[in-house]
Structure 1
Amino acid sequence: MPAAIAQPALLLRAGDDVAIAARDIAAGETIQPFGVTARNAIPFGHKIAVKALGAGSQVHRLGLPIGFATCAVAPGDHVHTHNLGFEPSQAEHRIGTRLSNATSLAADDIPTFQGYRRADGKAGSRNYVGVLTSVNCSSLVARMIADHFRNPDVMAAYPQVDGVIALTHKSGCSVAEGGRSMGMLRRTLGGYARHPNFCGILLVGLGCEDNQIASLMDDEGLAEGPLLRTLVMQEQGGTRASIRAGISAVEEMLAIAGQARREAVSASELMVGLQCGGSDSFSGITANPALGVAVDRLVACGGTAILSETPEIYGAESLLLERAVSQDIGERLIGLLAWWEEHTRNEPAGLDNNPSPGNKAGGLTTILEKSLGAVAKGGTTNLNDVIAYADEPVTRGLVFMDSPGFDPVSATGQVAGGANLICFTTGRGSCFGCRPAPSLKLATNTPMFERMRDDMDINCGGILDGSETLDEAGERIFHAMLATASGAPTRSELLGYGEDEFAPWHVNAWL
């Protein structure tokens, strides 16, 4: 990126076939330094052809193909859905060819955040008591229990507690024992039950569901105790009796949670989930690579970053494969992409059903183009592991977790894996939270940031106008991570987001 953006359109890499409009461009306007005249109006963030392209020619952005011209394209043409078509990924699958030799910081140089040290040694960035459900049928009871504690007068006795939250879902029955969906649901609930941002958990079931609490506890190695309680409605005596019993159990856990205090914790214990939603053409130019700089800084501290949304690396997987530290890790990533190709085969547009209408309005045309920006969130360090949905990483550094390209489902898996913070980039203005993990919202462009100040935490639009470099923005994001992990509230937390967005992934024949 140049130090300042003076020209109306950006050529991201020498040899690219298209440039990106840095502002609205009028038809007939001559675009410098390319010397082409806009043949159509080009909206902010959209693509303009800088060379002639024959029908069937590949179109390149950032040096990689993002599709093919469906008709002849002249210099100055608007390039978008009307003349740019999708083609299967052409990415090269060379594993471990560009490994990073970045060094880690010395222990004395690693910064700290103020976190909660739990009995199992993990560090949390928040101090909640959670009410989880084994099945949809116990959702009302869980919400009524949590609602009792939304009264500020009730919680005034527990100033060290961030709240009591209910995380409910739509599954737990008509799910086969031993099946993939049951395994993912139990891993997700088990991961939340162990999450360091929770001091205590109440797990509420109905009693006759497929996802029996006893089986869940056994599969996930969970044991009931003062800070992990269970309640079965059919055994308790029904709805009202269960609500009363649940409130009593939470009150006992709050007495313990209220004694927790923050202490200095090494940044090496931060685990950050990386998300992008409501993306636009600038996501891959500003917020995503700036977040990647912050991720490189976190990894140098010994921390962990989880990149997810498997369909949204399709076409750009080479950028991860070349950084995979082993052949096995690279092949596992290739295997996930092959599964997703088959999984989406009967969809009307296959994998190219993503990007969404909002993404396209922001200038993104194909999933291949969107993926280039999505991968940038992962920075430049090595890919140290590839894990299943809701699995806890067993190695630090950059890790890839399989998940759909739907933010609530993907972030739910990351938090189940232990992410104690989410960083979420957006160009269109996604409104999102993910309790118990705070979610930092990073805006890709200044107009949207100004329009949605109540929802955005950080503006990365200065990278476009030259008032900030990628490195400067990345450093600012990294320090915001530490401040947020230390208790600074995010915009989404202040607005109350984060409970409805709990969405375990289901791949189930019966739903």
Structure 2
Amino acid sequence: MLVDSSKTEALRSVLQVSPQDNVAVCLRAMQAGETVRVGDKPFQLISDVPTFHKFAVTLIAKGETVLRFGESIGVASQAIAQGEHVHTHNVSSTLKGAETYTIEAQSADAASAKRSRTFQGYRRADGRVGTRNEIWIIPTVGCVARTAEQAAIRAADRIDGRADGIIALPHPHGCSQLGDDLDGTRKVLASLAMHPNVGGLILLALGCETNQVDVLAAELDGVPENRLRIVRSQSVLDEMEETQNAIDELLDVMSEDKRSDCDLSDLVIGLKCGGSDALSGLTANPLLGDMTDIVTGNAGSAILTEIPEIFGAEHLLMRRTSDETVRGRIGALVNDFKDYFVRAGEPVNENPSPGNKAGGITTLEEKSLGAVQKAGKAEVRDVIMYGERNKANGLILLEAPGNDAVSCTALAAAGANIILFTTGRGTPLGFPVPTLKISSNSDLAARKPRWIDFDAGQVLRSPDRSEAAEALLDLIIETASGKKACHELNQERSIAIWKRGVTL
């Protein structure tokens, strides 16, 4: 819970997350000499502090742990005086490589109460629910990526209410890949192809690529024959004409699909943060935590990813996992990702990004502690690997890097039928499934209304998050029922595949 560190509205300009913290956050740019109040202790800032950056609320000795969220975000690299700006110039990360974990489960708070909310979704033959009914054109190889895009554009005016949209998912991969790298590309494309938002699927092949379309099609499980078309560009006279014919056939099939009542157990929410600032862990990410608790508390699923952005906070997820095997898999996943950095000769604490730092995030530990707020209080029920589809209810941890496009593609491939994307800096990027952009601060929401779907900055103006949480839940239900997210209105839909191998 946030601690209001001011006594009056005039002084309502700083926030302390936890009473144990030895830092607090400025909600506006403040200058040296201004008086701030943390608890019952008014004092003066001794340095300028940018908006959403931190300052010391007490003397922090060199080598002493710097606390935010009641947890360590690093150590002071030099003595930090009370009222002094706290950031990368005087705080260092303590993250290291692979660890041996000895973490035991602790009792978790009860999940949110049952809700009777419903949304209008598309119930598929296998029982899963789509929030959209679309034709997806998936190229097997980058050589026909633009062909897929052009095909979708040409057919847009022929939808005539028979589908929610026709989208292409171009990518540059599928050829000159070897072994596990090729398998990874094929796996994520197959998982995307089986998404419940896909009412009609076109696999657009070239012919000579290493990602052979017949091998890819063989990995599709449960896609009805009448909803799948394969176009082999090198084997037909006119690949564009063939693709247009396939689209028309699929539209006829999909014209019979109707939305029906679905409850929260049919929701699979993907959890993502990108371009975070120091408020992300105070406003937007805790709101997503509320959504996670509501959805998982009603037998739905929430998928958390960005494994490098839980470094330093993984113990919080492990503590509230009762299954010893799952707890071990969480630790193994984090250690494997750290080894991935080490093998490449990179430090495990290379994060946060320049944008994160400008927004007030100092170390990867701080970023991670804010990021895991998206998981709410739910217990981690399973750990799945990149490209795999989720088949469990509850909170799921998914292997993927922090990159926005790669991780959101992985979330869609895992089966998320809506993604909740928090941001303090903003991005126009969109993904295959409806993606709600949730700003951590109201200034971003005001400046970028074409990007931002929901303003979580309102949390700072309320005594608690309950009103904002209900408003966000309403928007999620409306979006799942067909309301278009900003990125859909802007026709921003893309994927990115995590490439980890050699290119020929």
TM-score past 0.5 threshold: yes
Mark the CA change 1:103 to 1:283 in structure 2 (over 3 Å): closer, same or farther. closer
Q: 2:436 aligns with which of 421, 440, 465?
A: 440
Equivalent residue number for residue 52 of structure 1: 59
Q: Is the 8 A contact 2:178 2:502 kept in 1?
A: no
Equivalent residue number for residue 368 of structure 1: 365
Q: Is the 8 A contact 2:274 2:421 kept in 1?
A: yes
CA distance in 2, matches of 1:16, 1:221: 50
Q: Is the 8 A contact 1:390 1:415 kept in 2?
A: no
Within a 5 Å distance, the mapping from 1:228-377 to structure 2 comes to 228-237=228-237, 241-345=238-342, 350-377=347-374
**Is 1:214 aligned to 2:220, yes or no?**
no
Q: 1:173 aligns with which of 172, 175, 183?
A: 175
- The CA deviation at 1:418 is 1.0
Name whichever of 216-225 and 417-426 sits farther off. Answer: 216-225
Q: Is the 8 A contact 2:3 2:19 kept in 1?
A: no
Q: 1:82 aligns with which of 61, 83, 89?
A: 89
**Is 1:35 aligned to 2:42, yes or no?**
yes
Q: Is the 8 A contact 2:142 2:172 kept in 1?
A: yes
- The CA deviation at 1:92 is 6.7
- The CA deviation at 1:376 is 0.4
Equivalent residue number for residue 410 of structure 1: 407
CA distance in 1, matches of 2:29, 2:327: 41
Q: Per the alignment, in what secondary structure is the counterpart of residue 342 of structure 2?
A: coil
CA distance in 2, matches of 1:92, 1:120: 39
Q: Is the 8 A contact 2:54 2:360 kept in 1?
A: yes
Q: Is the 8 A contact 2:126 2:222 kept in 1?
A: no
Q: 2:22 aligns with which of 17, 30, 41?
A: 17
Q: Is the 8 A contact 1:272 1:421 kept in 2?
A: yes
Within a 5 Å distance, the mapping from 1:446-485 to structure 2 comes to 446-466=442-462, 469-485=464-480
**What letter corresponds to residue 202 of structure 1 in structure 2?**
I
Structure 2 length normalisation: TM-score? 0.94
**Is 1:142 aligned to 2:134, yes or no?**
no
Q: Which runs of 5+ in 2 are unaligned?
A: none
- The CA deviation at 1:119 is 2.4
**Is 1:199 aligned to 2:199, yes or no?**
yes
CA distance in 1, matches of 2:27, 2:112: 36
Q: Is the 8 A contact 2:162 2:252 kept in 1?
A: no
- The CA deviation at 1:148 is 0.8
Q: Is the 8 A contact 2:296 2:302 kept in 1?
A: yes
CA distance in 2, matches of 1:398, 1:312: 17
Within a 5 Å distance, the mapping from 1:371-410 to structure 2 comes to 371-410=368-407
Mark the CA change 1:95 to 1:508 in structure 2 (over 3 Å): closer, same or farther. farther
CA distance in 1, matches of 2:198, 2:276: 31
Structure 1 length normalisation: TM-score? 0.92
CA distance in 1, matches of 2:223, 2:254: 18
Q: Which runs of 5+ in 1 are unaligned?
A: none
CA distance in 2, matches of 1:271, 1:223: 19
**What letter corresponds to residue 385 of structure 1 in structure 2?**
D
Q: Is the 8 A contact 1:91 1:317 kept in 2?
A: no
Equivalent residue number for residue 102 of structure 1: 111
Q: Per the alignment, in what secondary structure is the counterpart of residue 313 of structure 2?
A: coil
CA distance in 2, matches of 1:87, 1:358: 21
**What letter corresponds to residue 500 of structure 2 in structure 1?**
V
Equivalent residue number for residue 117 of structure 1: 123
Name whichever of 275-284 and 343-352 sits farther off. Answer: 343-352
Structural RMSD (CA): 2.0
Moved over 6 A (4+): none
- The CA deviation at 1:36 is 3.0
CA distance in 2, matches of 1:220, 1:260: 21
Q: Is the 8 A contact 2:439 2:455 kept in 1?
A: yes
Q: Is the 8 A contact 1:204 1:233 kept in 2?
A: yes
Within a 5 Å distance, the mapping from 1:51-70 to structure 2 comes to 51-70=58-77
Mark the CA change 1:224 to 1:302 in structure 2 (over 3 Å): closer, same or farther. closer
Q: Per the alignment, in what secondary structure is the counterpart of residue 503 of structure 2?
A: coil
- The CA deviation at 1:127 is 1.2
CA distance in 2, matches of 1:93, 1:291: 29
CA distance in 2, matches of 1:86, 1:65: 9
**What letter corresponds to residue 97 of structure 1 in structure 2?**
Q
- The CA deviation at 1:63 is 1.5
Mark the CA change 1:61 to 1:495 in structure 2 (over 3 Å): closer, same or farther. same
How many residues are treated as equivalent by the alignment?
A: 495
CA distance in 2, matches of 1:278, 1:256: 41
- The CA deviation at 1:343 is 1.2
CA distance in 2, matches of 1:346, 1:257: 48
CA distance in 2, matches of 1:478, 1:98: 27
Q: Percent identity?
A: 36
Q: Is the 8 A contact 1:294 1:475 kept in 2?
A: no
Name whichever of 115-124 and 331-340 sits farther off. Answer: 115-124
Q: Per the alignment, in what secondary structure is the counterpart of residue 149 of structure 1?
A: helix
Q: Per the alignment, in what secondary structure is the counterpart of residue 460 of structure 2?
A: helix
Mark the CA change 1:118 to 1:219 in structure 2 (over 3 Å): closer, same or farther. closer
